[in-house]
Each structure stands twice: as C-alpha cells, then as structure tokens.
Structure 1
Amino acid sequence: MKRFYAIGFALLLAFDTLNLVCFKLAGTHALPVEMNLAWALRVFSYPWIYGAVVGYIGAFVTWMSLLKHAPIGPAFAASHMEVVSVMVLSYWVFNEPVTPTQIVGAIAIVAGIACLAVAEGDEGEHDVVPA
C-alpha cells in the first residue's frame, strides 16, 4: 500500500505542477489580456493551455483514486506539495525570485507533511486487531 501512496502522490504532484506551470506559460504567451475573441483564440493557439487541461484532469482523477484509500489528513497535506514544486520550477524556468519567506514556507509545508505521515504511520502500528 505504501508503494500505491508513493506513486499516487508523485503522480498528483506531477499533474498539479504541470497544470500550474502550463497555465503560467499559456498566460504569458497570450499577453496582453483582452476580453475578446481574438485573445481567447490566442490562448487556445498555444499548446500550453492543453497541457494545463491534461494536468488538471490528471490531478482530479489521481486525487479521487487516492481518496479511496489514503488517510485524509496526510492526503490533503501532501496534495499541497505543488506549492513547493511550482516555486522551484518558477525560479528555474521563469527566473522568478524566491524570497527567504517563501523558502521558510516551503520548509514548513514539507515538515508538516512529514509530521502527518509519521503520525499516521505510528497510528497504524498501534492498531489492535481483535482476534
């Protein structure tokens, strides 16, 4: 089951990250924003918008599959790892600055997920199954 969680959360992270980065790329390529048909056609003329749709659908399907089996606390927390992955990719791909506050926030997110995972694992070890 741990392998299922690891693969599932890795897929969720990948799909969520794909979604957000592709939306950023689509938006950047479609500038300036105008509320007209020409702008909408410009948005849909770039492949990035379709990558965002694939990422969104993939994340939704993966999330629904994980919710069938994963404990909700760690699952909900782990579903927010894309904040960290998008921050790292934004720095690398878009040359966006990363502030010390963002780094502390990323560390807090990862630490919180780790604490929830450890706590959930400890609960599972102490469960008593009646004979």
Structure 2
Amino acid sequence: MKKFYIIGFILLLFFDTFGQTSFKLTALSAMPLEMSIDWFIRIFTHGWVYLVIIGYTGAFVTWMMLLKKAPVGPAFAVSHLQLVTVMLVSAIAFDEPIAFIRMLGGIFIIIGIIFLALAEQKLNRNT
C-alpha cells in the first residue's frame, strides 16, 4: 500500500507540474493577450494547449485513484507539493527568480507535509 501512495503522489506531482508548465508555455506562445478570435486560434494551433489537457487529465485521474485509498488530510497536504515543484521548474525552465518569501513558503509546505506524515504514522501505530 505504501508503494501505491509513493508512486501515486509522484505521478500526481508530475502531472500537476507538467500541466502548469504547459499552461505557461501555452500562454507565452499565444501572446499578445487579447480577447479576439486570433488569440483563440493562436492558443489552439500550438501544441502546448493539448499538453495542458493531458497534464490536467492525468492529474485528475491520479488524484481520484489516490482518494479511493489515501486518507484525505495527508493526501490534500501532499498535493500542495506541486506548488514547490512548479516553482522549481519555473526557475529552471523560465529563468524566474525564487524570492525569499516563496522559498520560505515552499519550506513551510514541506515541513507541514513531514509533520502530517509523522502524525499519520503515529496514528497507524496506535490503532
């Protein structure tokens, strides 16, 4: 069961990060932003938008499978790791700076997930 969770959450992180990154690439390739038919055509003529659909569909299916078996609280907390992975990928792929406050937020997310995992282990040992 533990292997299921690990693989599931890694897949969820991958699909979430992939979807967000593809969304950014879609926005960049459709520039300039304008409410016109030309803008919609630019969105759907670049392949990035289809990768967005794949990423979000994969994340949704993975999330639904995880929720069948994983406790909701820890699962919800771990799903927020995508904020950290998207921030890291954005820094690498798009050369976006990581501000101190964002780094601090990412560290707090990771610490919170660790505390929830430890609490969940302790609960499982006591039952």
| TM tier relative to shorter chain | over 0.9
Find the aligned partners of 2:5 and 2:122 in 1 and give their Cα distance: 16
Find the aligned partners of 2:119 and 2:55 in 1 and give their Cα distance: 30
- 2:26 alignment partner in structure 1: 26
Structure 2 residue ranges without an equivalent (≥5): none
Amino acid at match of 2:114: A
- 1:38 alignment partner in structure 2: 38
Find the aligned partners of 2:34 and 2:102 in 1 and give their Cα distance: 31
- 1:80 alignment partner in structure 2: 80
Q: CA deviation at 1:29?
A: 0.8
The reply to whether residue 119 of structure 1 matches residue 119 of structure 2 is yes
Q: CA deviation at 1:96?
A: 0.6
Find the aligned partners of 1:122 and 1:3 in 2 and give their Cα distance: 19
Amino acid at match of 2:19: N
- Could you say which structure has the higher helix fraction? 2
Find the aligned partners of 1:29 and 1:124 in 2 and give their Cα distance: 48
Amino acid at match of 2:52: A
Between the aligned residues of both structures, percent identity stands at 49
Q: CA deviation at 1:121?
A: 1.1
Structure 1 residue ranges without an equivalent (≥5): none
- 1:50 alignment partner in structure 2: 50
Aligned length: 127
User: Which stretches of structure 1, 4 residues or more, deviate above 6 A after TM superposition?
Assistant: none
Amino acid at match of 2:118: V
Q: CA deviation at 1:35?
A: 1.2
Q: TM-score, normalised by structure 1?
A: 0.95
